[in-house]
Amino acid sequence: MFLKAMQRCRGPFSEESMSAAISQQWNVLIVQSISVDQQLAVHSAWYFTGSRKALIFLATRHHFGTMSMPIQIPEKIEAISPDDDSMIDLRNPAVAAILSWLVPGLGQMYQGRRSKGILFMSAILGTFLVGLGCGGGKVVYASWKPGEARWAYVCQLGAGVISLPAAIQSMSLSGTTKTPLFGTWMAPPLQSGQYVSRSYAEKLIRGPDIDADDFFDRPPLRQFRGDQLSMWHRRLGRWFEIGTLYTMLAGMLNILVIFDAWSGPLDDRQSLAAEAKKEAHKQSRTGEKP
């Protein structure tokens, strides 16, 4: 893309000189009589190739005539496939890792490893949803109240954006409105003596576990006088535990998926050989002799 942009510009710099510059990791490129169009083309090319040094073009774009610009060729971050020794372009590993946390497999898709991304997405999200279904939608919730801290949520949080509503529900229920944002979905269980809004209490009464008698009337709120977690356990039995286990494991395994997006496939047996090959590949790119 960079060379294409330069060719369009028909500037005083030749394709050969640009190739020579690109073959080096660090270089100082002397660009003479650069026009505004050329600057913009160079700037956009560098922007899209991801170089931080693109900012230099912004800073120097008003300087005409002879100008000296240090440029850094963005080094491709690559991993080596342990199966066929092919290079895997990891693009921006940090972005890939964040994407993989948000939606399992999305980081791999961003890196062009589409089939692997689909595999991770279906495996992790499928397991999480099956767990959620087994637990009747009650097993993913966040609660940090003394004696009822939900440590399983720390693992479930690994599955990404799908588990985030639980944190929002917990915060909104303990806020001033005393009403979860998304109804009863992923809302933490009520403890004895907890105050909730009248609208939320009515929603709970319409559900399977709670009756109107389970609340004291404390206008403008209502005070719960049962133990909702025990009610869930009584109704769901072992399915609560199975659902919790499935969602926890999905979240924990996604940590491996995030690491795969960050640094490529793991293979301890070949890691030393891979390092050597990577170094050789790097040297062949820079034109240095080993």
Partner 1 sequence: MIGECMFLMHGLSTWMFSTVHLFGIFDSIPSVFFGFPLVLLASVVFAATHHESPDAIRWATIHWTIWISGILGVVFLLVYVLSQGA
Nearest to 160 by CA among 95, 98, 117: 98
Span of 54-62, 75-83, 171-179, 212-220 interacting with partner 1 by CB under 8 A: 75-83
The answer to whether residue 155 forms part of the interface with partner 1 (CB under 8 A) is no
Shortest Å, Cβ 129 to partner 1: 7
CB of 188 within 8 A of CB of 161?
Answer: no
Nearest to 200 by CA among 73, 160, 188, 138: 188
Span of 17-25, 27-35, 46-54, 126-134 interacting with partner 1 by CB under 8 A: 126-134
User: What letters, b where the CB count within 10 A reaches 16 and e where it falls short, cover 229-263?
Assistant: bebbbeebeebbebbbbbbbbbbebbeebbebbbe
Residue 74 or 183: the one with the smaller Cβ distance to partner 1 is 183
In the set 245, 281, 282, 285, which binds partner 1 (CB under 8 A)?
Answer: 245
The answer to whether residue 185 forms part of the interface with partner 1 (CB under 8 A) is yes
The answer to whether residue 74 forms part of the interface with partner 1 (CB under 8 A) is no
CB of 17 within 8 A of CB of 44?
Answer: no
The answer to whether residue 130 forms part of the interface with partner 1 (CB under 8 A) is yes
In the set 31, 155, 249, 274, which binds partner 1 (CB under 8 A)?
Answer: 249
Span of 14-22, 180-188, 190-198, 275-283 interacting with partner 1 by CB under 8 A: 180-188
In the set 29, 69, 129, 205, which binds partner 1 (CB under 8 A)?
Answer: 129
How many CA atoms lie within 13 Å of 192's alpha carbon, on the beta-carbon side?
6
The answer to whether residue 77 forms part of the interface with partner 1 (CB under 8 A) is no
Distance CA 142, CA 173 (A): 11
- Spell out the residues 6+ positions from residue 146 whose beta carbon is closer than 8 angstroms to its own: none
DSSP 31: E
In the set 42, 97, 250, 274, which binds partner 1 (CB under 8 A)?
Answer: 250
Span of 48-56, 114-122, 145-153, 194-202 interacting with partner 1 by CB under 8 A: 114-122
The answer to whether residue 238 forms part of the interface with partner 1 (CB under 8 A) is yes
In the set 74, 267, 281, 282, which binds partner 1 (CB under 8 A)?
Answer: 267
In the set 88, 152, 167, 221, which binds partner 1 (CB under 8 A)?
Answer: 88
Distance CA 289, CA 181 (A): 62
Element housing 46 (H / E): helix 36-49
Distance CA 271, CA 109 (A): 24
DSSP string computed for 195-209: EEEHHHHHHHHHSSS
Shortest Å, Cβ 97 to partner 1: 13
Q: Which residues bind partner 1 (CB under 8 A)?
A: 81-84, 86, 88, 113, 115-116, 119-120, 123-124, 127, 129-130, 132-137, 162, 165, 182-183, 185, 238-239, 241-242, 245-246, 249-250, 253, 256-257, 259-260, 265-267
